[in-house]
Amino acid sequence: IVLLSELNRLVVFVMAVIECTDLTKLYGQFTALKELNLAIEQGTSFGLLGENGAGKSTLVRLLMGFIFPTSGQLHVLGEAQVMRAHTRVGYVPERPFFERRVSGRGYLLHFGRLLGLRDPVLHQHVDELLERVHLRDAAARTVGGYSKGMQQRLAIAQALLTDPDLLILDEPTSGLDPRSQWEIRQLIQGLRSQGKTVLLCSHYLAEVQELCDSICILRRGEMILSGTVAELVTAHNAVEIVLAAHLQAWSLVDSLGLPEQSILSAQENRLVIQGEAQAQVLELLVQAQIPLISLQPQQKTLEEVYVRVTDRANREVAATFLQSTMIGDK
């Protein structure tokens, strides 16, 4: 039993690519990150969300070892000294910097040699990466002549030089045109399909909903929500029933005696009902031989979830401030 318990503990530890326990970072009197508890499992694509100043950049800097925690614990790929994990981490900053006079291939060859890769394997590896990020035809051109989207793809190629276990992407599509955004998203999808662990910081919530398995939302250094994207965008206790196109949902409510108290919406050929009424409503529709197109839990967008959660957090802060002010006046 002891051995089994220890094995389970070891499996959980190995699976947690990023693990934060009560992680806190202070800058003087300012709290940038407060008692963050977070675990990101191997193979997960994880979205880190929050407004500017929420603590996202601070967390990324801590993960990369650029700064150090004030208190709490942090492990990256099992390393408490996160710098030791650097060769297994690929990092793409929000604004990558390049020597503009160097070619794309020359840039990757230079950094490959700095990382200890050697010819001829290095040349083959670089060519494969250039092909993967769709830059092979532009490999001989100087980076100064690259568009912003091409530079971002080159930065991802650099991050992949060591075939890392973890990729940290900070606003990878920020400021790009729609075509370049699509190309970067395709690259990230490819990394997901390979089983890479991806930490994605982004303000584009539709992008995060498309690319990420799980997310957390930070606000003023504190986590206010976390969970899987699939769970968060499912409207709890609401089911949408789509009827045949020629039917009007509202007319069936009275004619079939559907339980009005369970009808959340009846528009055109769509009924939205409370989940617990699903069996009763379906039975009535089937008995009346009403043709159905589909039935599924109602979905929300991640943007709607984000706005609702942050609004609620803002109201709670305002109420706490008002209460403290009233106590102070007394």
Distance (Å) of CA 307 to CA 53, 207, 214, 230, 291: 17, 16, 17, 17, 37
Q: Name the DSSP class of 82.
A: G
Amino acid at 43: G
Tell me: cis bond preceding 120? Omega within 30 of 0 counts.
yes
What's the token pair of residue 45? 């694509």
CA distance 129 to 112: 12
Burial of 112 (0-12, 13-18, 19+ CB in 10 A): buried
Q: Which of the four pLDDT bands, split at 50, 70 and 90, describes residue 33?
A: very high
CA angle at 155 for the pair 151 and 161, rounded to the nearest 5°: 140
What pLDDT does 316 receive? 77
What pLDDT does 12 receive? 42
CA distance 118 to 294: 57
What's the token pair of residue 264? 């959340």
Q: What is the pLDDT of residues 68-123, one digit of tens each?
A: 999 999 999 999 999 999 989 999 998 898 999 999 999 999 999 999 898 889 99
Mean pLDDT value across the chain: 88
Q: Higher confidence at residue 292 or residue 13?
A: 292
What's the token pair of residue 65? 């070892």
Task: Give the lowest-confidence range in 55-64, 117-126, 203-212, 266-275.
Answer: 266-275
Amino acid at 270: R
Q: What is the pLDDT of residues 146-183, one digit of tens each?
A: 999 999 999 999 999 999 999 999 999 988 999 999 99
Q: What share of the chain is helix, strand, coil (3-state, %, to 5)?
A: 45, 30, 25
The answer on pLDDT for 302 being more than 60 is yes
Q: Higher confidence at residue 67 or residue 15?
A: 67
Distance (Å) of CA 231 to CA 112, 113, 213, 297: 41, 44, 10, 11
3-state secondary structure of 237: strand
What pLDDT does 205 receive? 94
The listed range with the strongest mean pLDDT (5-9, 152-156, 324-328) is 152-156
Q: What is the pLDDT of residues 88-99, one digit of tens each?
A: 999 999 889 899
Q: Give the sign of the dihedral formed by CA 261, CA 264, CA 268, CA 269.
A: negative
Burial of 1 (0-12, 13-18, 19+ CB in 10 A): exposed
What's the token pair of residue 77? 């790929």
Amino acid at 23: L
What pLDDT does 229 receive? 94
The percentage of residues in the chain with a pLDDT greater than 90, rounded to a whole number, is 59
3-state secondary structure of 90: strand
Distance (Å) of CA 183 to CA 68, 190, 260: 34, 11, 48
Q: Give the sign of the dihedral formed by CA 108, CA 109, CA 114, CA 115.
A: positive
Q: What is the pLDDT of residues 250-277, one digit of tens each?
A: 888 888 888 888 888 888 988 888 877 8
What value does the mean pLDDT take over residues 13-42?
Answer: 91
The answer on pLDDT for 321 being more than 70 is no
CA distance 161 to 135: 15
Q: Which of the four pLDDT bands, split at 50, 70 and 90, describes residue 315?
A: confident
What pLDDT does 110 receive? 94
What's the token pair of residue 215? 């997310």
The answer on pLDDT for 328 being more than 80 is no
